[in-house]
Structure 1
Amino acid sequence: MTFQEILFYIFSTILLVASIRVVMSKNPVHAVLFLVLAFVTSAGLWMLMQAEFLAIVLVLVYVGAVMVLFLFVVMMLDVNLEEIRKGFWKNLPIALIVGAVIAIEITLILTNPQMNLVSFNGLKPLPADYNNIRELGLQLYTTYLMPFELASVLLVLGMVAAIALTHRKRTDVKRVNPADQVKARPKERVRVVQMSAEVEIEGVTEEAQDVPESPSDTTK
């Protein structure tokens, strides 16, 4: 077993464990942190495949910007976990069916002799003048133009969904109406009440005589 194969199995194991923890974590902040770990290990796999540009973009864009933004958004939204967990057992059979179908598809792809993905034999060294960015651009805007455009549409839909979730109406949040604050008057909100003073002399508490209220001490 070569050093590249050892790194491949280590990164793959960490990636699988982190992916499972993303789904199974009860705390959304922990789920986001495990997702960051999954992205970092995915970048390591890209490096083994000699795709340095994709690995750097995955770390800088997703881990350095997107996931940090997700982390702050999750921390600020104060997600109600009890509301999210409602209907879990009702939707569990559908989730198991979808997961089984995806697992069967992945297994068929990995066991296909034409794909040759089961054994990791490494890649041959590329020439010095090879440019990953140029090859990636040629593939995206020629062969995979339609999937690339569909991915951009999905990202726009995700952004719209995030905005809709942020501005959704919640009943468990205290809201303040600025119009009611402007209408409030100090005379209706402040009330001055005069009380008799208490004087303590040698352990005996004596009440002072009541002082008659003056016109200025009336309710304001």
Structure 2
Amino acid sequence: MEISTLLFYAFATVLVISGLLVITAKNPVHAALFLVLAFVTSGCIWMLMHAEFLAIAIVLIYVGAVMVLFLFVVMMLDINIDRIREGFWRYLPVGLLVALVMVAEMAAVLNKPYFQLAEVPQPAAPAATHSNTQELAQQLFTQYAYPFEIASLILLVSMIAAVALTYRRRQGLKYVNPADQIAVKAADRMRIVSIPVEPGVATSLSPKEGE
């Protein structure tokens, strides 16, 4: 058995175990960390498949951005774990049924006699000058140009919707206009006031009486 095959089975085992721990971990922070491990392991599997761009993309985007955001949200919110677990056993039969259907579909797709009529030729080894990033870009902007543009438009609309939902005015909150803060001047922030000193106050604070 080749070393690449051994590495694939090792990474696949870690990926499956970390995926199971994501849905069985009691602490949400631990679940998010196990999901980070699953993403990194899947990136290693992409590296074994000579898809370097997808491997570095899943590490930078999902681990470096998305999961960091998830961890901040989980740690900042006061999540009631007991309340989340209330419906676990109630929806467990439905979840198991959906999982069995998904496993059956994957087994049917991977079953060669039903979905593969002939032997698929193995692709040749990529040349030293071969670039997966160039091939992926060529496929995205030629054959899949319209789906790529539609997906980017959907993401743009979702970003605008998220900003619009958080921008609404709520009662009881202090609001500061950034334009007013920038336009303020030093003369508006400080004012020198001349206060006349009363004779009685000056006499009572004399050093001789303090001694």
- Tell me if TM exceeds 0.5: yes
Shift of 1:68: 1.4
Distance (whole Å) between structure 1 residues aligned to residue 24 and residue 55 of structure 2: 26
Shift of 1:27: 0.6
Return closer, same or farther for 1:151/1:29 CA change in 2, 3 Å cut-off.
farther
Shift of 1:123: 6.3
**Residues 47-105 of structure 1: CA deviation (Å, up to 9, x unaligned):** 11100011011111111221112111111112111222222222222212211111111
Distance (whole Å) between structure 2 residues aligned to residue 159 and residue 23 of structure 1: 31
With the length of structure 2 as denominator, give the TM-score of the two structures: 0.66
With the length of structure 1 as denominator, give the TM-score of the two structures: 0.63
RMSD, matched Cα: 3.3
Distance (whole Å) between structure 1 residues aligned to residue 92 and residue 38 of structure 2: 24
Number of residue-to-residue matches in the alignment? 165
Distance (whole Å) between structure 2 residues aligned to residue 162 and residue 83 of structure 1: 29
Confirm whether residue 11 of structure 1 aligns to residue 31 of structure 2: no
Return closer, same or farther for 1:93/1:149 CA change in 2, 3 Å cut-off.
farther
Confirm whether residue 98 of structure 1 aligns to residue 98 of structure 2: yes
Gaps of 5+ in 2: 175-211
Aligned residues with identical type, % of pairs: 52
User: What amino acid sits opposite 1:23 in the alignment?
Assistant: I
Return closer, same or farther for 1:24/1:123 CA change in 2, 3 Å cut-off.
farther
1:62-77 equivalent positions in 2, closer than 5 A: 62-77=62-77
For 1:44, the equivalent position in structure 2 comes to 44
User: What amino acid sits opposite 2:26 in the alignment?
Assistant: K
Distance (whole Å) between structure 2 residues aligned to residue 99 and residue 48 of structure 1: 28
For 1:183, the equivalent position in structure 2 comes to none
For 2:27, the equivalent position in structure 1 comes to 27
Gaps of 5+ in 1: 117-121, 168-175, 180-220
1:102-181 equivalent positions in 2, closer than 5 A: 102-112=102-112, 124-145=124-145, 148=148, 151-152=151-152, 153=154, 157=158, 177=172
